[in-house]
Structure 1
Amino acid sequence: MARPDPPHAAGHTLHWISRFTAGGGPRYLQIVGFMEQAISEERLKPGDRLPPQRVLAERLKVDLTTVTRAYGEARRRHLLEARGAAGSFVAAPKVDLSQVIDLSMNIPPPPAGIDLDDLLRQGVSQVLMHSDIDLLMTYHLGGGSSADRAAGALWLQDMLGALEESRVLACPGAQSALAALLLSQTRPGETILAEPLTYPGLLAAAAQLGRNVVAVDVDHEGMRPDLLTTMARRHGARLVYLNPTLQNPTTHTMPAARRAEIAAVATRMDLRIIEDDPYWRFAANAPRPLAHYAPRHVFYVSTLAKCLLPGLRTAYLVTPQGQSQEEVLAALRSFVLMSTPLTTALSTQWIHDGTAAALTAGIRQEAWARRELALRTLGDASLADSGGIHLWKALPERWKGQDFVVKAREAGLNVVAQDSFEVATQRSRSGLGPHIRISLGRSRSRFELVHALRRLMELAHRRSVREVVV
């Protein structure tokens, strides 16, 4: 027996419709985006009747096939359900409560207004059309071809201005570039200086290579230049690691004046800085990178994994002016001979033909939309200045970070506690209360993200950490 329509389904609703935006992608996908946004914000609720396709086409002044395609895509995403002659209705959300929702992995969200399946098919087709298949399937020299380096220079132009292609290396991901820099620029037992909370990939690589990471204290603007000088002298350190824009995990962005001060210390003391800058394109009015202030002392690393697709496995490393690349390339070849030719060629193709810029714009649009949803859901004013694809959320004092991670896992949620980011030398004296990093990109939809955040906050505010999570 068919279930009766709820009372509010008697007439269709149009209040969820927004205006098309230039550069927002295909209109059928923008219509799906209007629908998904309204469902996430509960302006559309399960059982609401959607307008007939012809009515919506007339309202939006588009042809009927555009709306038909939009409704088909919305059904594929489980946003609506068709009930024959009764029409189309907002579907009850399909969230698999037995499935773990991953809020721990920092990856970009699916791009708004872009058919990614179609984009990949077209991109690979173009690569195969313009490339020699034999060359794509054989060994290549490390660092990328001249076309790959030119693509890297073009991609980095927004951050660093005009670049000599010879300074750019194409690497199979930022982690391999980071490991190659530690291996080539330091010796076993040496100290690398970093902020007290830093990227776990740095800590893992340093531990595997027998290097020590020591924390330099920060203030509200980031690493303190005076303490950088003191700690470099005390430990004989030659290498500094910084993630100055939308820092992982704190989302803090170091202001331009502090960057200039840090660069001045590096220049005066002949230090080398690894500037890991994966989130620059997500920041509003991001300052110029440290590499702008100290081009002879900074290794600049920018990965496509955080602003395009992790599966591309492509990152660009800009070496300091006047410094040979041979040590870095030799270190890179010792554990990963080359970037994967096919995906590197796809990255190069997309950068040169403008696809990468369009894809990034769609990802940035979706990331900002998810951030706004997250801020409203969490209701935490302290997160207002956050950006990018993750949030740094304080927990009630009764929690210990790892205890919360365990309980969250039992509730079907993956998050990362501050312990994973703490430099070992800092842990015993850190006065920071318990925090978790919440990644916004891995959820399959905005609704799933909102659902997960609500469950997370319900868990965080339980009266006792001993309560059973069901």
Structure 2
Amino acid sequence: MTRTSSAESTGETLAWLSGFTPGAGPRYAQLATFIERAIATGALRPGDRLPPQRMLADLLGVNLTTVTRGLNEAHRRHLIESRGPLGTFVAPSRVELAQLVDLSMNIPPPPADVDLEALLRDGMSQVLIRSDIDLLMTYHLGGGSKADRHAGAQWLRPVIGAVDPAKVVVCPGAQSALAALILSATQAGDVILTEPLVYPGLPLVARQLGRRVECVATDADGMRPDMLEAACREHDARLLYLNPTLQNPTAATMPESRRLAIGAIAARFAVRIVEDDPYWRFAEDAPPPFARLVPQQTYYLSTLSKCLSPGLRTAYLVLPDAQSEAPFLASLRSLSLMATPLTTALVAQWMHDGSAAQLLAGVQAEARSRQQLARRILGGAAHAGSVKSTGSAGGIHVWHVLPDHWSANELTAFARSEGLVVAPASAFHSGRQAPNAVRISLGGCAGRSELTAALRKLADMLERRPHSDTAIVV
């Protein structure tokens, strides 16, 4: 059955048509974006009929050719469909067979107003002009060149303050850096202390290297100092792993007072802190990192994969002292010989010419918009006050506590059967009883319209109850 747009039927100006934005691309492309945005917000729904092209041209103050090109672009994006003499209609939602919408992988969202292709093209052009090609294409000693280390120190300065570039080690991603750090700073059988909910890569690499992970109880502010002190006495631990800002997966941020208390205990028991800090730049009014508060006690790890792009495969590790470098680099070389010289040269170029800051600002803006979207949609999924989402105005994931009628594993399985992938709490939990919650990542969808559809679908699932009859009849 064909529906007529309510705005059209009343003769009112169509609310989803907004004014063109100078510098935001060709007007025909902006028209297609108007339609896409209206579908995402619900202003246009499948089956709504669009006004005739001449009416659109009059409303927008453009010529007919521009409108025709805009509708062709909307067709290309599968937003609308033509039905001959009946007119042009909003297309039904596409069903992509064997394709899942992934809300489980934490990656930075693609920024709407940054031309990444242009940044790559211009950055690589400058690298090739300024660099010796033979040096870019040969083996390099691990840890990064002097220029790479200076670029890392420049990048980290707004977060942890001035740092000696000699203490900055360039690594091919955070996971290899974490593995090398555990290998160099601990022995087989040693204990690594963590919170019960932890980045899954930590226990994975600890098990592979024959180390033990022991959990320390937490409260609303994070790891409890009294329980940390007890764990230090019991286990004679060498490392304490923390992700204190927009923690993965809970999106919680540890206050400064708690950081100072934990830092004091770590210093007293000679336990080094591994501060995994990929999200600090997304947080509003984030407390100082441990690397500022207790730098002599802290290995500070910061990856570009969560705030710029995973494709850069670059992370920076700030060492607490010069004596740590040689054993760390030896361990890193046993796992990954070097970071890719071409990529690290591009990163250094972006740091110096402002491209990295431009890309970061775009990612931060997009993350804030997606957080607002998630709060608006998932906030409507509350069931008898039992649903809770936690996140930040600019983080790239939210932590969603489920209503009593869903278990995390049931919801995860059902969502997958419906084409959505979310991460259950059990994927992050190293203790006995995982909380009944899921982590929802906001960066995996290419556009906000796709994310909107996925979040609405998830919100609808949360309102429903699991099927009691799971028998399969064929």
After TM superposition, is the score higher than 0.5? yes
Corresponding residue SS for 2:301 = strand
Aligned equivalents of 2:241 and 2:161: distance in 1?
22
For the Cα contact (< 8 Å) 1:25–1:112, is it kept in 2?
no
State the match for 2:177 in structure 1.
177
The 2-side partners of 1:196 and 1:442 are apart by 26
Partner SS for 1:273? strand
1:406 corresponds in structure 2 to 413
- The one of 446, 456, 460 aligned to 1:454: 456
**Residues 402 and 79 (structure 1 numbering): CA distance in 2 closer, same or farther, change over 3 Å?**
same
Using a 3 Å threshold, how does the CA distance of structure 1 residues 240 and 356 change in structure 2: closer, same or farther?
same
Distance (whole Å) between structure 1 residues aligned to residue 272 and residue 65 of structure 2? 57
| CA-based RMSD | 3.4
1:312 aligned residue: 312
- Secondary structure of the 1:244 match is coil
Matched, 1:383 2:389: yes
TM-score (norm 1): 0.86
Output the amino acid matched with 2:420.
L
State the shift of 1:37 in Å: 4.2
Inter-partner Cα distance in structure 2 for 1:453 and 1:294: 40
Q: Give 2:378's aligned amino acid.
A: L
Summarize the alignment of residues 409-424 of structure 1 with structure 2, pairs less than 5 Å apart.
409-423=416-430
Counterpart of 1:438 in structure 2 is 440
For residues 140-162 of structure 1, the C-alpha deviation after alignment (integer angstroms, 9 at most, x for no partner) is 11011111111111111110111
Partner of 1:126: 126
Q: Percent identity?
A: 52
Are the counterparts in 2 of residues 296 and 322 from structure 1 also a CA contact under 8 Å? Answer: no
Query: Which residue is equivalent to 2:18?
Result: 17
Q: Distance in 2 between matches of 1:64 and 1:126?
A: 42
| CA distance in structure 1 between the partners assigned to 2:288 and 2:220 by the alignment | 19
Shift of 1:55: 6.0
- The answer (yes or no) to whether the contact 1:30–1:113 under 8 Å persists in 2 is no
Alignment correspondent of 1:114: 114
Q: CA separation in 1, counterparts of 2:80 and 2:458? A: 26
State the shift of 1:137 in Å. Answer: 1.2
After superposition, give the CA deviation of every residue in 1:161-201 in whole Å (9 maximum; x if it has no partner).
11111111111000011101110111111100000100000
Report deviation, 1:270.
1.8
C-alpha change, 1:14 and 1:463, in structure 2 (3 Å) is closer
Structure 1 residue 41 displacement after superposition: 1.7
Which runs of no fewer than 5 residues in structure 2 stay unpaired? none
What CA distance in whole angstroms lies between the structure 2 residues aligned with 1:460 and 1:186?
A: 44
Q: Which residue of 1 aligns with 2:295?
A: 295
C-alpha separation between the residues in 1 aligned to 2:71 and 2:365?
22
**How many Å apart are 1:118 and its aligned residue?**
2.9
- Is the contact between residue 250 and residue 391 of structure 2 (CA under 8 Å) also seen in structure 1? no
**Quick one: distance in 1 between partners of 2:346 and 2:66?**
29
Deviation by residue 1:231-258 (Cα, 9 ceiling, x = unmatched)? 0110010100000010000000001111
Structure 1 residues 340 and 397 mapped into 2: Cα distance closer, same or farther (>3 Å)? same
C-alpha distance in 1 between matches for 2:471 and 2:374:
22
CA deviations 1:28-72 (Å, max 9, x no partner) are: 7888766654432223445445885686478xxxx9999999888
Counterpart amino acid of residue 437 in structure 1: R
Secondary structure at the aligned position of 2:105 is classed as coil
Aligned partner letter, 1:259: R
Q: Which has the larger radius of gyration?
A: 2
SS for the counterpart of 1:240 is strand
- Structure 1 residues 151-160 or 371-380, which shifts more? 371-380
- 1-structure distance, mates of 2:149, 2:58: 50
**37 and 5 in structure 1: CA distance in 2 versus 1, 3 angstrom threshold:** closer
CA contact (8 A) 2:388 2:402 kept: no
Task: State the TM-score, normalizing by the size of structure 2.
Answer: 0.86
Rate the CA distance shift 1:468–1:356 in 2: closer, same or farther, 3 A.
farther
